[in-house]
Amino acid sequence: MTNQNETNIKSIEENITELTNGNVEIQKKFKTKWLGAVVLGILCFILQRIDTQNGSLTMFLIVMGIASLCGGIIMFLVKQNHYYYNGQELKLYELDFDAEKSGEINSLYSAENFEELKKISHKTSSIIKIKILCDDNCKTVYSQMFKFIPYEFKPCTEVKFHNNVNSSAINQLIKSRA
């Protein structure tokens, strides 16, 4: 594929509602852990005011309070996308693959041979990534392959919908990488 074609391809996150004719609903949600972090920060400041005898404990409580408050505020501001298809939540998985076998990975992905794809070693930092958006049973599965083009991963294939024939192989691929 040429670089011009790769830049015109939308990612799975940008394109999922169009591909499903609006059947996938995207909701932005934040985790509720932010509330616990803010409460911990406030408690640290209260405890620091009570115990002024021990200098190192006071300093520790101040640092913990600041860190907890900042962490809680950041968690509140950063919202994650949650995808829902007919009321079921779809989870987004990112699978990294060994860069040395990029040609083999590309051909296996194009042929939708997920059993063989599962056998290829994976790395935590690579230039090939496959994103899979699916429900728990892998009955609704969308996938897309990405390549690292400095300084980000860009889609190099269109989003694919996989039917029930491939769903068990895709489920095994996800479980092998988890």
Could you read off the pLDDT tens digit of each residue along the chain, which spans 178 residues? 444 445 577 777 777 777 676 777 777 666 677 777 888 888 877 877 776 677 777 778 788 888 888 888 887 787 777 778 777 878 888 888 877 777 888 888 888 888 888 777 776 667 888 888 888 777 778 888 888 888 888 888 888 887 666 677 787 778 776 6
Q: Which helix (H) or strand (E) holds 166?
A: helix 164-177
pLDDT for residue 3: 45
* Bridge partners, residue 27, by sequence: 82
Distance CA 61, CA 48 (A): 6
Ranges of H-type helices in 29-163: 33-50, 55-77, 102-110, 114-117
pLDDT for residue 5: 47
Can you read off the two tokens belonging to residue 103? 């040609």
pLDDT for residue 165: 63
Global confidence as pTM? 0.67
- Cβ-based neighbour number of residue 18 at 10 Å: 11
Q: To which residue do tokens 């040395």 refer?
A: 100
Distance CA 158, CA 112 (A): 13
Pair 96, 123: CB distance under 8 Å: yes
- What secondary structure letter does DSSP report for 1? -
Q: What residues contact 67, with CB distance under 8 A and at least 6 apart?
A: 41
Of 82, 87, 88, 80, nearest in space to 138 by CA = 88
